[in-house]
Amino acid sequence: MTVKEIFDTMDYGPAPESAADALAWLIDQGASFGHFIDGSFTEPTAEFQSRNPANGEVLADLSQATQSDVDAAVAAARAAFPAWSGLSSHHRARYLYAIARLLQKHARLFAVLETLDNGKPIRESRDIDIPLVQRHFYYHAGMAQLMASELPDREALGVCGQIIPWNFPLLMLAWKVAPAIAMGNTVVLKPAEYTSLTAILFADICRQAGLPKGVVNIVTGDGAVGEMIVTHEDIDKIAFTGSTSVGRKIREATAGSGKALTLELGGKSPYIVFDDADIDSAIEGLVDAIWFNQGQVCCAGSRLLVQEGIADRFYTKLKARMANLRIGDPLDKSIDIGAIVDPVQLDSISAMVAANTAGEVYQAPCDIPEGGCFYPPTLITDLATSDLLMQEEIFGPVLCSMTFRTPAEAIEIANNTRYGLAATVWTENVNLALDIAPKLAAGVVWVNATNLFDAAAGFGGIRESGFGREGGWEGLMAYTKPKSQAEPLERIEAYPGDSSEIASFDPLDRTPKLYIGGKQARPDGGYSQSVFAPDGQLLGQAPIANRKDVRNAVEAAQSAKAWSKTTGHLRAQILFYIAENLAARADEFAGRIDALTGGDTGAIEVEVAISRLFTYAAWADKFDGQAHSVPIRGVALAMREPVGVIGALCPDDVPLLGLVSLMAPAIAMGNRVVLTASEAYPLVALDFMQILETSDVPAGVVNILTGSHSELASPLADHLNLDAIWSFSSTALSGPIEAKSAGNLKRSWVNNSLNRDWISDAGEGRDFLEAATEVKNIWVPYGE
């Protein structure tokens, strides 16, 4: 036999990892677990089992939390919060450091237990998941240390309810627990029903680290336990990772509660291969993109888009690579693909593939172990964007594919989805890569790589992939709030009057109009309302906008997409120009405000509005992203991008300043806006339209409606082409707006009926800029 023949016939022999220590740990604990509440474990009730998906063997009995268990965990977290948040940054950092060190000391135990419980290959648990878990606690130990100096105006939110999925049980725990406790919050966490064991082992690590009782509490059980956490009145924030359908229900359930919310949801991520790509490298990357963790990854590259000229060659090589993938016992260090987490998930994958009638299905001729939850690596080619499998998340080792001809077509296909979590671009042309990446609707883009994660770089999506980020400075902010305390906001009513008294009204009446698409437009309904001074004098009429006007305004804003591509310098010039034109009519606007409100602060409001326009003109080309320091030979660029089209209900008490305070940061960052002016004092907004018309603001960038906030809030929050909605109305609309925003999971920023001092510094700054931008992390490895 020649050397070549030996190499051609060689195969990987078994390389099993011993499960003895992990099984011994389970037995030592009685293989039965209660909840971890207030620093100790409760008596187990053994209501459901955790099984090894590779062979169906029972690993342990677990307890289903009741409402009283959840109440006890929340009470423990609430009791621990004052002391924990009151600790110095340095002391919290020491605890996180201790946890990180203990995770390192017990790394192999965690890796084996994770593989037993989840079914993922031991190589992945050992070399990816557990090191990343350690990295998150080390990184956030540093963040805890820096909080006092770098975030002096921020403080902890309070008690955080956290619900994590089964695909990365310990890593998702670390993503949520580490930043929460670093910033001084306390936690009630629910692991997934299928995979609770490493969370329980982590609870034991918390005890070994001496973490104060009640800082971390863990309750186990099914989705009903998650619902108890979401709806609990004494929880201040919900952080959820899971399916989009459940995320939508959580958005509805928390609406109006005042709870902070971050959602990391599903995805249907494109994997784009251009004709100049290194094909062999792209295929190896694709193996990681879709068959890593059996494809049970929210950001899996499950939509393969190949440029037409190389498609046949690419598919041939890909099928050859698939045929050599090894499926088997997850504890075998030589296998590539482990077990699906549970028979329920296996049945779901099988049913979706079986129901598909489009394209050509290829399943790798791999040896499938008998027993256990295994599914072969699958490729389905020649699909269309409208096919179900190109749109819906399969969450399994199934790759769906189609071809494209041009970069423009690749972008169009890639963005043709309701999701927006991640994307991969494979090309040897760096100019092409950096041209494509910003155009992809995704929170994370990998160039010539895939599934790169680090604690320093935020991870999260847009569209129906959720909102908020985990990791980095942007993820940290989600676990803090401003230290200032707001007072309850009272509803501001328009002044009554007698519309028959018109003696003081200008006989040359101006027809009241809305401002849509860069021009004044008559209201669709043809109605207007009279606006009176405090003494009952008729000052004018304002149009009453309706649902059709909202639709027209959103369409105009959508048509102004070019604004998002303009330079910050150009946007700054236009904001300066608006300020200049407003200053030229300052006395007129001050008089109008005083006449409407019956006060004498109109001049101050106008002056602050001019200053605010200058502030955001200054920020337009200065609110930068950053280059994250990540442990790869490469760079992760955190790029600030506009949210898109923002609908906003303006404050009622400061009719000019409130409108400017929402409009200016939004358009400075490249967004387009649909503004609903002060309901009580709308005439100022009608006058401000003339300022916009003479300030070179492109048509559709700013649209202004007047009318009832309660009537306009619903069509705005419902609109699927709005990307965000803000409400600072004095009408109590926060709950309905948040509930309706669940339709397309648009970002919402509401006042929860709390007052904001718009004249002071609280009326401007980074909070507004953060709300007006999304962070896209673009990973660019370099070198040979």
Write out the catalytic residue numbers. 264, 298
Q: Which residues contact 351 (CB under 8 A, 6 or more apart)?
A: none
> What is the spatial distance between Cα 417 and Cα 183, in angstroms, rounded to a whole number?
35
Instruction: Identify which of 368, 363, 314, 362 has the alpha carbon closest to the alpha carbon of residue 339.
Output: 368
> What is the spatial distance between Cα 740 and Cα 649, in angstroms, rounded to a whole number?
15
Beta pairing class for 58-62 and 48-51: antiparallel
Beta carbons of 576 and 680 less than 8 angstroms apart: no
> From start to end of 413-537, where are the E strands?
422-426, 444-447, 466-467, 480-482, 514-516, 519-521, 528-532
> From start to end of 643-701, where are the E strands?
645-649, 672-676
The torsion of the CA quartet 522, 524, 530, 532, rounded to 10 degrees, works out to -70
Residue 722 main-chain phi, psi, to 5 deg: -95, 135
Tokens standing for 17? 């990892």
> What is the spatial distance between Cα 401 and Cα 423, in angstroms, rounded to a whole number?
14
One-letter amino acid for residue 611 of the chain: S
Beta carbons of 498 and 763 less than 8 angstroms apart: no
Q: What angle do CA 349, 351, 357 make, to 5 degrees?
A: 110
Integer CA distances (angstroms), 391 to 56, 81, 352, 408, 416, in order: 32, 43, 12, 20, 8
Output 602-607 pairs: Cβ under 8 A, ≥24 positions apart.
Answer: 604/759, 605/654, 605/656, 605/657, 605/759, 606/582, 606/656
> What is the spatial distance between Cα 643 and Cα 424, in angstroms, rounded to a whole number?
21
> What is the spatial distance between Cα 597 and Cα 601, in angstroms, rounded to a whole number?
9
Q: What angle do CA 261, 658, 697 make, to 5 degrees?
A: 100
> What is the spatial distance between Cα 725 and Cα 502, in angstroms, rounded to a whole number?
38
Q: 64 - beta bridge partners?
A: none
> What is the spatial distance between Cα 454 and Cα 448, in angstroms, rounded to a whole number?
17
What element of type H or E holds 217?
Answer: strand 216-218
> What is the spatial distance between Cα 461 and Cα 419, in angstroms, rounded to a whole number?
8
Beta carbons of 111 and 125 less than 8 angstroms apart: yes
> What is the spatial distance between Cα 195 and Cα 338, in angstroms, rounded to a whole number?
15
Instruction: Identify which of 501, 500, 508, 511 has the alpha carbon closest to the alpha carbon of residue 543.
Output: 511
Tokens standing for 679? 């309901």
Tokens standing for 246? 């459940």
Q: Which residues contact 35 (CB under 8 A, 6 or more apart)?
A: 41, 42, 63, 65, 69, 73, 217, 218, 219, 220
Residue 391 main-chain phi, psi, to 5 deg: -115, -30
Other beta carbons within 10 angstroms of residue 431's beta carbon come to 8
Beta pairing class for 216-218 and 186-190: parallel
